[in-house]
Amino acid sequence: MEKSLAQSVVNKMFDDDMFSQWLGIERVLIEQGHCILRMKIRNEMLNGFGIAHGGIAFSFADSALAFASNSYGKLSVALDCSISFPVAVKEGDVLTCEAKELSLTNKTGTYLIEVKNQKNENVAFFKGTVYRTSKEWFPKEK
């Protein structure tokens, strides 16, 4: 099956994304302005209280923000992100996140990313705003 532009862009980003690979992120769905990702919490992701470090859920959601906002092939950089942590994440948990585009203008985009665990509990809510540069970073295919 032919890949969409969004998939080609995100595949290229992902191949060079050392940290998303370290996190073990899987791409479940990639579309323009939208993506679903999955990852599993390992021992080396825990903090001093034996639960997942807050940076793990943030990083997972931030990858989703990058993939969703860059999927148009126009370089987008995060300006400001906020995250709420209602439920602790534990070792062995399988997290899924979904990025939805709340708004998109020529210069900015805003995304909501919900992170759930395998019990379908919301473990984090992430809202991120990106600045869309004028750089068409992804080479148009022939």
Which residues contact a copy of itself by CB under 8 A? Answer: 12-20, 22, 43-50, 52-56, 58-60, 62-63, 65-66, 75, 77-88, 102-103, 105, 107-108, 110, 112, 114, 122, 125, 127, 129, 131, 137
Q: Going by C-beta distance under 8 Å and a sequence separation of 6 or more, which residues neighbour residue 105?
A: 132
CB of 90 or CB of 107, closer to a copy of itself: 107
Give the C-alpha distances (Å, rounded to integers) separating 122 from 1, 17, 107, 108: 33, 26, 30, 27
The whole-angstrom separation of Cα 128 and Cα 65 is: 7
CB of 4 or CB of 84, closer to a copy of itself: 84
CB of 28 or CB of 79, closer to a copy of itself: 79
Residue with tokens 């900015």: 108
CB of 133 to a copy of itself, least distance (A): 9
CB of 4 or CB of 133, closer to a copy of itself: 133
CB of 137 to a copy of itself, least distance (A): 8
CB of 63 or CB of 96, closer to a copy of itself: 63
CB of 99 to a copy of itself, least distance (A): 14
* Half-sphere exposure in the Cβ direction for 23 (13 Å, CA): 26
CB of 142 to a copy of itself, least distance (A): 22
The whole-angstrom separation of Cα 123 and Cα 117 is: 7
Q: Are the C-beta atoms of 63 and 37 separated by less than 8 Å?
A: yes
